[in-house]
Structure 1
């Protein structure tokens, strides 16, 4: 039987995912056979496993920190918001349909509980330590009756819980006391300690507050964690994009990513942002694209809605004007679909609109289908003409996750030759425009390939008469260093002896 520790928060975005990642790494470093678990995740940032299943990106990072290959058993339920209080419900990596919030919470969630229990039993047999992440707050009175991710899981396992509060946003003490007051007595008993996260300043000035918390709640403060910048770890929530537009003194290239309302898989661009010569800027509503060195249209959970957003807010025309200035554009997945001539939705998978005009920058047409394509791929770069890039001698790794099929309307200059890792089918992906300034592809994670990423950036540098950089960043090694840095910081600021005692 495994030992458990569960992390719950006073609200969303207090650091539960990051601290779960940290504990997974710490226990992994200590030689434990540790695994992360989150019963239900709501996020547009997802990942495709080797067997073609879809899961939340945060559990992927946690699995990596634990030295594991990601599996959907770590995140059996994934909710991907589609708009109008609706979400696509994904169970054990497979989409089962779109539901309203009412349909899910008052009809389906408890049915999914049996799957959650099965996953926990499987993990309990195979691992000696399970680090469990909650969602939002356990004290949401309107959601508690049908909760399958917070206290229901804790009570099911009799798992000890650490309650996390974000002191940087203010009101941390009130949120802790209020959360504990709103819990039932048996739930309150499961809270074994409190963590204060994202603290800036002199810890000595906080001591009276820590003493008050212990006296008021009877719960020990397990530790106070400092505010950490540039973690280098995948985020699951687009709220984190608000923290990413930070200046970088060494940046010689600027990449503008259009932050559409339903942006998904924005971690596609973290590896670009981690390069010393690159500043990645997320362009929010009302902000001008300006004159970057590259514009990227990201993936999206609702291509039609986000394409309409580009038209309504002037970004469609701004992108076209940028092209006239020879600023290149790359579209990934839904962004790739937007670059074509039109998008058809005959089955109304995304909206009631049958057809919408694309940006007209590539000679393609996309037709949405009822089925969803999810699989990992390997690829080779075969494109000609995009920014003058020639063949890149690297096996590229990535994954596809999209609805529908993109058709090519005339003689094409494909970007990649792809091998589907499940069917072994080989096919051509993406398109490069005749002028070599527009590239579209379905491959997520394409920029995580070290040689391809640097080749692209050096092509951009050449356009600015900058010397190419010869040093290639090892993305995998950099991420491992980030996990270790996080683990070391958490070790130094949490009472790990107390946590081990709590778990035992």
Structure 2
């Protein structure tokens, strides 16, 4: 099982790498993440919704994505509110407080999915979420150390040295893990290292005096064109003297941002994710992306000045909308049944 000192440290990619490594050695491998929170999800061949990381990991295993690989998915839908998807199907929309009352029920669903997957493979590659050191969440944890205990898993803790302070992150995480769970931790990995690893070795040697869990490896920084599921990792592709500049409005509830990954492969194209109206004016094409809360994001456009900028640029720039972004280009959005946040909002009025 791969856990991390925080989000974005590389758990998903490392798990996918081990999936492919073991698959290439002739083993039957399956990926598994009990609970995921992401707006950038994907759909299995049988029409069920799971986190995109598990889809990539399934491909690394050479198998079709399966809802059991990510039985609990949370999609943020508003301040403190998320859509709960269980075994690939929407169950309800709930607040954070309501969700934690469902923790044990969700844990049972997750464990049953895990047991089912284990019956058909040699290796189950389990990924944790965020950090196991969130001490306020440990009692209701269904994705990190309580899951590792239920699975009798050997845990590898991953730290991101590119962010700085990796030894403090690893030591702090170890110290805050509950004592009964520390024996599950079998090793640590330092990820995203740039430079001469020999210069890091003295630090690894000294670290062994503070934590009784060995650092088993250092993984170099790799430029990988893999789909991401976390918007905090969303990166623009800025190039000097581009032939064309595409600006994507970075909405608060932007969803399915991997729609734009192919544009990053186009030579001479600069792709910018932005909330800055001035950058929109410099673009050749402006895209309003999909949204998990279209009404809220329409309010954001109004409050940020982007609505005014887009209306002024009509007829002088190409403006395109995808999914919820397309709805924003109309006259008005109505949500009478509260499917997202409820109510109505005036749109940009770009077409009838």
Q: Residues 335 and 261 of structure 1: is their aligned pair in 2 closer, same or farther, counting only changes over 3 Å? A: same
Q: CA deviation digits over 1:362-394, x for unaligned, max 9?
A: 33xxxxxxxxxxxxxxxxxxxxxxxxxxxxxxx
Equivalence for 2:227: 234
Q: CA deviation digits over 1:319-355, x for unaligned, max 9?
A: 2333321x212211111111111111111222242x2
| 1:304, distance to aligned residue in structure 2 (A) | 0.4
Distance in structure 2 (CA, Å) of the matches to 1:254 and 1:348: 37
Distance in structure 2 (CA, Å) of the matches to 1:316 and 1:26: 48
Distance in structure 2 (CA, Å) of the matches to 1:117 and 1:275: 43
Matching of residues 112-151 of structure 1 within 5 Å: 112-151=106-145
| 1:150, distance to aligned residue in structure 2 (A) | 0.5
Equivalence for 2:53: 58
Query: Of 76, 93, 114, which aligns to 1:81?
Result: 76
Q: CA deviation digits over 1:237-278, x for unaligned, max 9?
A: 10111xx22433584221111101111100010011122232
Equivalence for 1:210: 204
Unaligned ranges ≥5, structure 2: none
Equivalence for 2:300: 309
Unaligned ranges ≥5, structure 1: 1-5, 364-504
Q: Give the 3-state SS of the residue equivalent to 1:70 in structure 2.
A: coil
Larger Rg: 1
Q: Give the 3-state SS of the residue equivalent to 1:193 in structure 2.
A: strand
Equivalence for 1:27: 22
Equivalence for 1:99: 94
Q: Give the 3-state SS of the residue equivalent to 1:215 in structure 2.
A: coil
Q: CA deviation digits over 1:130-168, x for unaligned, max 9?
A: 111001111111101011100111111111010001111
Equivalence for 1:474: none
Distance in structure 2 (CA, Å) of the matches to 1:329 and 1:36: 39
Q: Give the 3-state SS of the residue equivalent to 2:163 in structure 1.
A: coil
Equivalence for 1:68: 63
Q: Give the 3-state SS of the residue equivalent to 2:57 in structure 1.
A: helix
Q: CA deviation digits over 1:24-75, x for unaligned, max 9?
A: 1222222221111100001111112222211111111111222222111100
Matching of residues 131-280 of structure 1 within 5 Å: 131-229=125-223, 231-241=224-234, 244-248=235-239, 251-280=242-271
Distance in structure 2 (CA, Å) of the matches to 1:276 and 1:195: 35
Deviates more, 1:247-256 or 1:177-186: 247-256
Equivalence for 2:341: 351
Equivalence for 1:392: none
Distance in structure 2 (CA, Å) of the matches to 1:320 and 1:17: 40
Q: Give the 3-state SS of the residue equivalent to 1:211 in structure 2.
A: helix
| 1:192, distance to aligned residue in structure 2 (A) | 0.7
| 1:290, distance to aligned residue in structure 2 (A) | 2.4
Q: Residues 362 and 53 of structure 1: is their aligned pair in 2 closer, same or farther, counting only changes over 3 Å? A: farther
| 1:310, distance to aligned residue in structure 2 (A) | 0.9
Equivalence for 2:325: 335
